[in-house]
Structure 1
Amino acid sequence: MSTVARRGAAAPRELARVGDRLSFVYLERCVVHRADNAITATDAEGVTHIPSATIGTLLLGPGTRVTHQAMSVLGECGAGVAWVGEHGVRFYAGGRALTRSSALVEAQATAWANLRTRLDVARSMYRLRFPDEDPAGRTRQQLLGLEGDRLRACYRAESARTGVPWRRREYNRDDFAAGDAPNQGITAAAQCMYGIAHAVVTALGCSPALGFVHSGHERSFVMDIADLYKTEVAIPAAFDAAVEGPEDVAARTRRALRDRINKTRLLDRCVRDIKGLLRFDETAEDASGSSDGDRVTLQSDHGTEVESGRNYADEIIW
């Protein structure tokens, strides 16, 4: 019996909202399995049960093994899954989240395909990041300069707030431990934010590749979204973790970041921001009924969509 393309019957309205979930759960050196509608993580210390419907992103670190049944329940409940490196500071691959509608990715592609609207979205992203600056009329080069200045100012401000010494941003891809405590924390925070943003982007049905600030990478849009909260959420969490020194700074950063994300309900905000940036009309989607389940149509002439599952041979004049 064929099971190709078969998915669970749960509709999006039956699932926990993205904004109501835990931001992420990081696991390493364990076996991930399924127990009813939860997943279990088994390691040397025993078995931990994790309700799968409450997970935003599951980060699988080194030494993890995950069963087919575990991936099945994660897919059914719309949880994002990312395979990451040690300390969660590298992204290797991402599992597909639950997506039922193409409406948002069509809005994204429409905005991306036109150079003027692509720049408009990029300016809106900078306006979200730096609300006291008006990016209207600025070129891309000017926007990049604005970002660089603001990041340097943020590093200095967080150093002064926490008392953690700061020299400059340094990242050695091949040697995470080569950086000092704040640099390790910032790297760990950035990768966690990429995992979270990737889960939200795919859960909403957007394309991770079609970026408005970043370009040329399969996760350009993910980087765009993660950067929206860099100075407000990620960098402060990294400096808070670095106060205690470089020992185990990545794990402390993840905990500080998770607490900050859950406290500020960042996932819910992330969903709103993506829809706002893409000027997505939710009322139109609700009217189509696509939010209640799968909606598949066929494209016809003049932008008309017709019902799928029918043979139109007798209705077409060749």
Structure 2
Amino acid sequence: MATVSQRTALTPRHLTRVGDRLSFIYLERCTVHRDANAITAEDTEGTTHIPSATIGTLLLGPGTRITHQAMSVLGETGAAVAWVGEQGVRYYAGGRALTRSSALAEAQAIQWANTRSRLSVARAMYRLRFPDEDPAGLTRKGLLGCEGRRVKDCYRAEAARTGIKWRGRKYTPGDFSAGDPVNQGITAAAQCMYGIAHAVVSSLGCSPALGFVHSGHELSFVLDIADLYKTEVGIPLAFDVAAEGEEDIASRTRRALRDRINELSLLDRCVDDIKGLLLQGDTDEAMSNDRDVVTLQSDGGRVVAAGRNYGESDAGMGEGGALLW
């Protein structure tokens, strides 16, 4: 089994920033291989080369096969991978973080572990979604109630804007076709946003499970982040696509969402929003040291160099070492 020291020696400088990547690429009915640091999609019409470091999330649709080597290069370059179907989108697996710093993961754990700071972050998330409303002083129940009201208002407003008859949000898990076209579009947009949010969360080294609004699920924080852009991007786009026609609603929604995300530079914004929520203004200092360095925790909040046996009598707690076990 490979160890950390045997991994490909990629550093954050070798990897494309999350904000500079394509939001997602959707493939179906093809075989995905690896060619050097690119992946190839081979179907009956030929072979297409795709630089793996430019991908945020690779969506593998019906009829796709992917080789071990292709998954290897995607993992090395930090791309997330999601297997999807014609009946909706479902996130399956993620790639390797683009950062070597644990600053964001530690900040997330600290904010999450304290009930007061956890509520504070939840309020900050609400403020990002609805900047015209101040959630200061709202309880958890109050936040949920206000969020539900604003989302319902968004549905009604978009229905009036596009002329679509709105009968309410209806989604049956496992049965994508059960909803009307606009509900199918909302579901497709939401699930794509979950995959994109998961890619950004994982790329930044955060825990997908430690949510501030959602809880109890392995993707709680992913759901938190995806919801930041629900009423601004996902819901309006789904209504727009449904108003244009009812055919191929899922694929048309995915394409329109991909274009909209690139227009808004949403990946950059998502990165900035996560840093702002977790680091509370210390983003530059906390993320400036992104070297591939492992340290050990000592007393008094100090850290000491790893790779050294501190059981030796002459081991200086402030000195580094090159010994590995």
Give the letter for the 1:113 counterpart: A
Scaled by the length of structure 2, what TM-score is found? 0.91
Name the residue aligned to 1:127: 127
Asked whether the 8 Å contact 1:75–1:98 carries over to 2, the reply is no
Scaled by the length of structure 1, what TM-score is found? 0.93
Shift of 1:96: 3.9
Q: How far apart, in 1, do the equivalents of 2:57 and 2:92 lie?
A: 14
CA offsets 1:282-302 (integer angstroms, 9 cap, x no match): 343356x3x1x3110011112
Q: How far apart, in 1, do the equivalents of 2:94 and 2:18 lie?
A: 17
Percentage of identical aligned residues: 73
Shift of 1:41: 1.0
Asked whether the 8 Å contact 1:85–1:91 carries over to 2, the reply is no
Give the letter for the 1:43 counterpart: D
Give the letter for the 2:180 counterpart: D
Q: How far apart, in 1, do the equivalents of 2:169 and 2:236 lie?
A: 14
Q: How far apart, in 2, do the equivalents of 1:166 and 1:48 lie?
A: 41
Q: How does 1:186-197 map onto structure 2 within 5 Å?
A: 186-197=186-197
Name the residue aligned to 2:311: 313
Name the residue aligned to 1:185: 185
Name the residue aligned to 2:59: 59
2:41 is equivalent to residue 41 of structure 1: yes
Asked whether the 8 Å contact 2:84–2:91 carries over to 1, the reply is yes
Q: How far apart, in 2, do the equivalents of 1:22 and 1:271 lie?
A: 14
Q: Are residues 257 and 249 of structure 1, via their aligned partners in 2, closer, same or farther at CA, if it must alter by over 3 Å?
A: same
Name the residue aligned to 1:22: 22
Give the letter for the 1:235 counterpart: I
> What SS class does the counterpart of residue 164 from structure 1 fall into?
coil
CA offsets 1:51-77 (integer angstroms, 9 cap, x no match): 211111111223221112212221222
> What SS class does the counterpart of residue 234 from structure 1 fall into?
helix
> What SS class does the counterpart of residue 25 from structure 1 fall into?
strand
Unpaired stretches in structure 2, ≥5 consecutive residues: 316-325
Asked whether the 8 Å contact 2:86–2:250 carries over to 1, the reply is no
Name the residue aligned to 1:154: 154
Q: Are residues 254 and 309 of structure 1, via their aligned partners in 2, closer, same or farther at CA, if it must alter by over 3 Å?
A: same
Name the residue aligned to 1:4: 3
Asked whether the 8 Å contact 2:101–2:287 carries over to 1, the reply is no
> What SS class does the counterpart of residue 314 from structure 1 fall into?
coil
Shift of 1:304: 1.3
> What SS class does the counterpart of residue 279 from structure 2 fall into?
coil
Q: How does 1:1-318 map onto structure 2 within 5 Å?
A: 3-5=2-4, 6-279=6-279, 281-285=282-286, 289=289, 291=290, 293-315=291-313
Give the letter for the 2:81 counterpart: V
Q: How far apart, in 1, do the equivalents of 2:286 and 2:8 lie?
A: 22
Asked whether the 8 Å contact 2:276–2:283 carries over to 1, the reply is no
Shift of 1:88: 4.3
CA offsets 1:224-250 (integer angstroms, 9 cap, x no match): 000000000111111111123332100
Q: How far apart, in 2, do the equivalents of 1:142 and 1:49 lie?
A: 50
> What SS class does the counterpart of residue 217 from structure 1 fall into?
coil
Shift of 1:134: 0.2
Shift of 1:163: 1.7
Shift of 1:97: 4.0
- After TM superposition, the structure 1 stretch with the greater mean CA deviation from structure 2, 13-22 or 300-309, is 13-22
Give the letter for the 1:3 counterpart: A
Q: How far apart, in 2, do the equivalents of 1:192 and 1:40 lie?
A: 22
Q: How far apart, in 1, do the equivalents of 2:243 and 2:46 lie?
A: 32
CA offsets 1:157-207 (integer angstroms, 9 cap, x no match): 111222222110000112111110100000000000000000000000000
Quote the RMSD (CA, aligned, Å). 1.8
- After TM superposition, the structure 1 stretch with the greater mean CA deviation from structure 2, 64-73 or 205-214, is 64-73
Asked whether the 8 Å contact 1:32–1:40 carries over to 2, the reply is yes
Asked whether the 8 Å contact 2:30–2:65 carries over to 1, the reply is yes
> What SS class does the counterpart of residue 8 from structure 1 fall into?
coil
> What SS class does the counterpart of residue 92 from structure 2 fall into?
strand
Q: How far apart, in 2, do the equivalents of 1:217 and 1:96 lie?
A: 20
Shift of 1:114: 0.2
> What SS class does the counterpart of residue 94 from structure 1 fall into?
coil
Q: How far apart, in 2, do the equivalents of 1:62 and 1:95 lie?
A: 21
